[in-house]
């Protein structure tokens, strides 16, 4: 089941001021570009289809199990989950069970499962550093020809690998 994001994160993992400090930018001329690069870097990393395969900042996702049973939620770092069954508008809280392959919920029938997920502070700090590295790399290589010829820095790739959620 492919999840659908219902509620986006309300904040980016890094602020414009943090990016400007990281990139050693002491003027406001490039603020719009840097803000756009932050958004692009987060979009590249974040969510089910991002390269991390997980939510960086807290956000709400949804799946639709077709029948009763145990279901592996498609993303880690689940804070809470609830099922909404046909004919009953009130969500029913679900217990999220940790397993070696990821978080599992049990549902009683076909339903919609909404789940809130987001990284813990220590992992979020690593994700923020990755965003800074990517933004700095893109900012330093603004020309389309140079940017296409160079990959993301190896340090960022290593950190991405350490946080990447492996879909089973």
Q: Residue 120 is encoded by which pair of tokens?
A: 């813990």
pTM equals 0.89
pLDDT, tens only, 107-142: 999 999 999 999 999 999 999 999 999 999 999 988
Torsion sign over Cα 100, 54, 167, 81 = positive
When pLDDT is averaged across residues 94-114 and rounded to a whole number, the result is: 96
Rounded to whole angstroms, the Cα distance separating 168 from 160 reads 18
Torsion sign over Cα 83, 84, 85, 90 = positive
| Whether the predicted pLDDT of 145 surpasses 70 | no
pLDDT for the residue 168: 47
Rounded to whole angstroms, the Cα distance separating 153 from 45 reads 14
Rounded to whole angstroms, the Cα distance separating 14 from 128 reads 6
pLDDT, tens only, 33-57: 999 999 999 999 999 999 999 999 9
Torsion sign over Cα 4, 69, 79, 55 = negative
Rounded to whole angstroms, the Cα distance separating 27 from 117 reads 36
pLDDT for the residue 141: 87
CB 56 within 8 A of CB 130: no
* Domain parsing of the chain, residue ranges: 15-53+121-163, 59-117
**Vertex 81: Cα angle to 78 and 84 (nearest 5):** 155
pLDDT band per the 50, 70, 90 thresholds, residue 150: low
Q: What DSSP state is assigned to residue 160?
A: H
Beta bridge partners of 107: 69
Rounded to whole angstroms, the Cα distance separating 143 from 148 reads 9
The residue to which tokens 């997980």 are assigned? 54
């Amino acid at each position: 089941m492919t999840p659908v994001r219902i509620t986006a994160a309300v904040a980016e993992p890094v602020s414009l001021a943090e990016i400007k400090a990281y990139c050693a930018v002491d003027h406001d001329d490039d603020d719009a570009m840097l803000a756009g690069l932050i958004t692009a870097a987060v979009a590249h990393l974040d969510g089910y289809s991002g390269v991390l395969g997980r939510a960086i900042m807290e956000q709400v996702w949804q799946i639709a199990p077709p029948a009763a049973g145990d279901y592996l939620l498609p993303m880690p770092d689940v804070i809470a989950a609830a099922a909404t069954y046909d004919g009953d508008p009130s969500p029913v809280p679900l217990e999220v069970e940790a397993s070696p392959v990821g978080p599992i919920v049990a549902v009683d029938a076909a339903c919609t499962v909404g789940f809130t997920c987001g990284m813990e502070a220590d992992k979020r700090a690593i994700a923020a550093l990755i965003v800074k590295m990517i933004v700095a790399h893109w900012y330093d290589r603004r020309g389309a020809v140079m940017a296409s010829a160079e990959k993301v820095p190896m340090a960022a790739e290593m950190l991405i690998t350490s946080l990447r959620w492996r879909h089973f």
